[in-house]
Amino acid sequence: MINIFSLPLGIKEYTTKDVRKIDFISSVVLEESELWGYKKIITPIFEKINSLTLGLKEETINKTIKFIDPMNGDVLGLKSDVTPQIARYVSNNYKNEKIPLRLTYNEQVVRSDFKQSGSKREIFQVGCELIGSSSIDSDLEIISLGTSILKKLGFNNQVVTLNSSLLLNFIFENLKPIKDDIKELFHKKDYQSIQNFTKDKRLNKNENVFINKYLKPLIQNKSILSKPLRTKIKESILRINAIAKILSKGNPKLDLRVDLLDVKNFDYYSGMTFDIAVPEIPETVLSGGRYDELIGKYGNSFPAVGLGINILPLMKTVNADQLGSPVVIVESNIIDNFSLSLEIKDFFTSQGFTSILSNRANSYRDKFDLKIKISKNKSLTLYDNKNIKITTFKTFSDLENEDF
């Protein structure tokens, strides 16, 4: 039988255990970022499509799910990324905020490229943005905040990789006929196949020279700083090397790498980019970079750097049963005991327990730490998490005097 109430492709339901994991991870990220001075912001679920896709390339715009506003016919879009919304907010509200501005968020985004990427269309994303500073200090701060967040989540072994979006964009601009082909190979880190494109008939003489002059030396780990590059690209590479040197000095145990050929998927990056991986998870869990030119597209320009964390891969490492406060079940099958049940519930809640009311007809079947059964004469019998009797109290007052 066909389920007519099935969910859209790439969208799934999340169980109560899933949600406990999502909430736990989100709370750790938000609490740590707030300790660093970042203030939480909430962005709209949807906006006018021109606001969400300003300055983006067509392939990125296609990731945005679009629909018509029945109120006025405007074309709207569901947010597929939070950073452009942050950019619009800062451009519109900078007079009401103090610059540099530190923002953090916890949002859900939806993308329409499920078939292409094989990933889920709905993403739970937590992020931090530092706006108004172009100094190397801001780069160091956002990367250090990322490593600190992951440590709080229990990931002490981290691999931080620094890269440059300017350099790769420079490569793609000079190899337009094969850009889409080699971009995919960059994602796969199949550099040998990229070198074979010197024989591609789509390339002219200058493009072949470019591969030999710039691309091959990069792939072979040779420096290209001595070659005629745009000033911004040279400055970006020098800055990345300086960041790597400072971070390594401050934390010698950090596994820090520079990979100038690593590809980032967002068009708005304008310099240093980075990602952080952990051995426990096969995919990158945190990434970010500078987007100094994005906010200016909305009117008022400010340099910015930020990071985003995809919560879903992190969920696999969290045990939901270990989250939250201990659970106490207050069980009674006598309606006249309801007031007493509430008193007991309030008592344990005040002690930091999760307290749940239950009865024998509809007994609580999930895991618990303590069960209290109320009898007809209002005596209280305590059971442990295996339903083994611990002790009995004649009255609630006797129980209150115990130390929990």
Q: Which residue has the tokens 């440590």?
A: 151
The number of distinct structural domains making up the chain is 2
Domain span holding position 395 = 325-400
Beta carbons within 10 angstroms of residue 57's beta carbon? 10
The answer to whether position 351 is within a domain reads: yes
pLDDT tens digits, one per residue of 254-303:
899 998 877 776 678 888 999 999 999 988 899 999 999 999 999 999 99
Confidence of residue 210 (pLDDT cuts 50, 70, 90): confident
The answer to whether position 204 is within a domain reads: yes
Order of all β-strands in the sheet with 304-310: 39-40, 101-110, 122-131, 304-310, 286-290, 272-277, 159-164, 255-258
Question: What percent of the chain clears pLDDT 90, i.e. is strictly above it?
Answer: 50
pLDDT tens digits, one per residue of 49-62:
999 888 777 777 88
269 and 165 in contact (C-beta within 8 Å)? Answer: yes
97 and 90 in contact (C-beta within 8 Å)? Answer: yes
Do 26 and 145 belong to one domain? yes
Residue 16 has pLDDT above 80, yes or no: yes
Do 311 and 350 belong to one domain? no
Q: According to the model, what pLDDT value does residue 117 have?
A: 44
Query: Rg of the chain over CA atoms, in angstroms?
Result: 27
Render 155-211 in DSSP notation, one character per residue: ----EEEEEEHHHHHHHHHHTGGGHHHHHHHHHHT-HHHHHGGGG-TT--HHHHHHI
pLDDT tens digits, one per residue of 345-403:
999 999 889 999 998 666 777 788 999 999 999 999 999 999 999 999 999 999 988 87
CATH number at residue 216: 3.30.930.10
CATH number at residue 362: 3.40.50.800
3-class SS string, 1-40? CCCCCCCCCCCCCCCHHHHHHHHHHHHHHHHHHHHCCCEE
The answer to whether position 75 is within a domain reads: yes
Q: Packing angle between helix 136-152 and helix 16-35, nearest 10 degrees?
A: 140
Question: CA-to-CA distance for 65 and 127, rounded, in angstroms?
Answer: 21
Q: 45 or 223, which is more confident?
A: 45
Helix (H) or strand (E) holding 226: none
Do 311 and 355 belong to one domain? no
The answer to whether position 8 is within a domain reads: no
Q: According to the model, what pLDDT value does residue 227 have?
A: 66
The answer to whether position 1 is within a domain reads: no
Q: Which residues does 124 contact at the CB level (< 8 Å), separation at least 6?
A: 22, 26, 107, 108, 310, 311, 312
Do 256 and 362 belong to one domain? no
Confidence of residue 143 (pLDDT cuts 50, 70, 90): very high
Q: 83 or 220, which is more confident?
A: 83
Joined tokens for residue 144: 């250090």
Residue 118 has pLDDT above 50, yes or no: no
pLDDT tens digits, one per residue of 226-258:
667 788 888 888 999 999 999 999 888 889 999
Round the average pLDDT of the chain to a whole number and report it. Answer: 87
Q: According to the model, what pLDDT value does residue 119 have?
A: 52
Residue 136 has pLDDT above 80, yes or no: yes
Do 158 and 208 belong to one domain? yes
Q: How far is CA 338 from CA 330, 343, 345, 375, 378, in A?
A: 10, 9, 10, 12, 11
Q: Which residue has the tokens 């969290």?
A: 318
Do 245 and 111 belong to one domain? yes
Greatest CA separation found in the chain?
96
Q: 8 or 94, which is more confident?
A: 94
Do 335 and 279 belong to one domain? no
